Amino acid sequence: MDILWKDQPARIREMGTGAPVVLVHGYPLDGAMWSGVARALMPRFRVLKPDLPGRGDTPAPAGGTMEEYADFIEAILQGLGTPAGVAGFSMGGYAALALARRHPASLGALALVDTRAQPDDDAGRAKRDEAIATARSAGLAPIADAMVPKLLSPASAGNRDLVERVRRIILRQKPETAAADLAAMRDRSDSRPDLASLSVPTLVVVGAEDALTPPADSEAMASSIRGSRLTTIPGAGHLAPMERPGAVAAALSEFFGGTLRPPDALPA
């Protein structure tokens, strides 16, 4: 699928057929982080795996706001012609919550994966500023060194192949894109006041050993969203979709399969 974003072409990788599901990646990653989950979902769904602006198949530079990322996802959804499922991981979850505020009619179902609703506190914003300075002065290598141990559970951190895959994805990002992501996260709105009014079916997914957005944050989100479900992924840290892709895909498949209608079931 191709769209225009900021007057530049963006290619949205997709696979499979059925009800559409858009998988939104986190920082400092790109759409490839969803590859294992996408392969497991494709027999049942039309799976779209975009790169957010400033990386990969979306070359237009990132503007550094969560609202821009939400509007980019909305541009994809508009091209689908039917309400879609959206699963947002970490920063992608922040963008998905912004999407739910700005463009609720395009959402058929929402999955929030290893993310949180509250904004950064003062200490968190200061750390974002430090990371922006690091990315601009030294590139992504020190970002990868700092992030990989935080993204993975202790068991996953011992998986050399997984660690190298995560590092490769991080190291191919542009410093200016990482800085834009960090600014967008630093300045994002507090989504907690919006949770009670979410009317779209919602699933919350979290790794049992997530140290960045701990299970308590997901429990708080789920308790605030009427009718939502919470799924905990055993043995996974923050990067559950890469650590336990089969378990994450199973949770998403069950959820989206029960909430989304395939295109041929929609009225003409």
Q: What is the pTM of this model?
A: 0.96
How confident is the model over 171-198, as pLDDT tens digits? 999 999 999 999 999 999 999 999 999 9
**How many domains is the chain built from?**
1
Instruction: Give me the pLDDT at residue 264, please.
Output: 62
Instruction: Give me the pLDDT at residue 267, please.
Output: 45
What CATH number is given to the structural domain containing 117?
3.40.50.1820
Instruction: Give me the pLDDT at residue 268, please.
Output: 42
How confident is the model over 70-100, as pLDDT tens digits? 999 999 999 998 889 999 999 999 999 999 9
Percent of the chain with pLDDT over 70: 98
Q: Which domain holds residue 8?
A: 2-265
Print the SS3 string covering the chain. Answer: CEEEECCEEEECEEECCCEEEEEECCCCCCHHHHHHHHHHHCCCEEEEECCCCCECCECCCCCCCHHHHHHHHHHHHHCCCCCEEEEEECHHHHHHHHHHHHCHHHEEEEEEECCCCCCCCHHHHHHHHHHHHHHHHHCCHHHHHHHHHHHCCHHHHCCHHHHHHHHHHHHCCCHHHHHHHHHHHHCCCCCHHHHCCCCCCEEEEEECCCCCCCHHHHHHHHHHCCCCEEEEECCCCCCHHHHCHHHHHHHHHHHHHHHCCCHHHCCC
Average pLDDT over residues 148-164: 97
